[in-house]
Structure 1
Amino acid sequence: MQAIRLATIRDIDTLTELLDGYRQFYQQPSDLQAAHDFLRQRMGLGDAFILVSENSEGALTGFVQLYPGVSTVGLNARWTLNDLFVLPECRDKGTGRALMEAATQLARDHGVARLILMTQVDNERAQHLYESLGWQRNTAFYGYLLDIK
């Protein structure tokens, strides 16, 4: 059984390892120091909500990260669910689903009108989870990226 809660600064070391694992899943090189600095900055600025899953022994098994934003067209709050990661050995046990449901409830509690996310085209496992939770694939807009270096 997992419990879901907001991350605290006391979680930063374990959360750093989870974030590094998430980045490696997306073919990024391991960089624990950069992951640690990134999380410390998020927590320091308070510009993201990070929920963590904890097993019955209190070990962190996954996280979801949300970034608040707004919509000019909708004149409302829209949050980006940017990251979802569950340790490989904890997958298929409901952890990802519990994190997603907790993220939805947190947004609802904050009066957020819409959650948005993107996932890789070939990440069918994640797509199945999202769709099973009622998320709908966006067919009205194209996504574009611009790297600024």
Structure 2
Amino acid sequence: MLIIKATKVHIPVIARLFDLYRQFYECKPDIALAEQFISERIEKGESTIFLVEKDGKTLGFVQMYPSFCSVDAVKIYILYDLYVDDSGRSLGVSASLMDKAKSYAKAEGASRIDLMTAFSNKAGQHLYEKLGYKKVSEDFHNYSLQVEQGL
């Protein structure tokens, strides 16, 4: 198993997995949107994406965004996307990607990695807790505001 930091060359294979990831969260399939989104993140340097390859096949990816915590006055990473194709499940791909994300964040001087997952994603919750992530949802409420574009 090989973990690679994604570049422009990897956009098509990551886009395929990203589209499947979005479908997991009940979005309609849209490979063009997936490719555009991943392409923009890579080309603008707005995220860091690692992918796992084994026997020439891409099995999964993790995507993180750099950010900051003003309260603690530290650099952090937001781990927003983790997805492993069916063929890569039960092979340790998710844990390997999470370990790579952690080592990268540490090397970049970040103090922590934050993530959110759906209440229904029991497999993800189990993995995160097994890797030492702690639930902090009791401390804060999460809010979101849709901002209309093009007005």
Under a length normalisation based on structure 2, what TM-score does the superposition of the two structures give? 0.94
The aligned counterpart of 2:64 is 66
Correspondence list, 1:1-149, <5 A: 2-55=1-54, 57-138=55-136, 139-149=138-148
Displacement over 6 Å in runs of 4+: none
Alpha-carbon displacement from aligned partner over 1:40-65 (angstroms, at most 9, x marks no partner): 1101110100000111x221100000
What are structure 1's unaligned runs of at least 5 residues? Answer: none
Q: How many corresponding residue pairs?
A: 147
Amino acid corresponding to residue 9 of structure 2 in structure 1: R
Q: State how far apart, in whole Å, the 2-side matches of 1:14 and 1:44 are.
A: 15
CA deviation after TM superposition for structure 1 residue 148, in Å: 2.0
Partner Cα separation in structure 2 for residue 38 and residue 96 of structure 1: 22
Question: 2:47 is matched by which residue type in structure 1?
Answer: A
Deviation at 1:137, TM superposition (A): 0.4
TM superposition score normalised by structure 1: 0.96
> CA shift at 1:78, angstroms?
1.1
RMSD over aligned CA atoms reads 0.8
- Identity over aligned residues, as a percent? 35
Instruction: Report the residue type matching 2:11 in the other structure.
Output: I
Gaps of 5+ in 2: none
Whole-Å separation in 1 of the counterparts to 2:2 and 2:76: 25
Structure 1 CA distance for aligned equivalents of residues 11 and 57 of structure 2: 12
d(CA) in 1 for partners of 2:76 and 2:106? 11
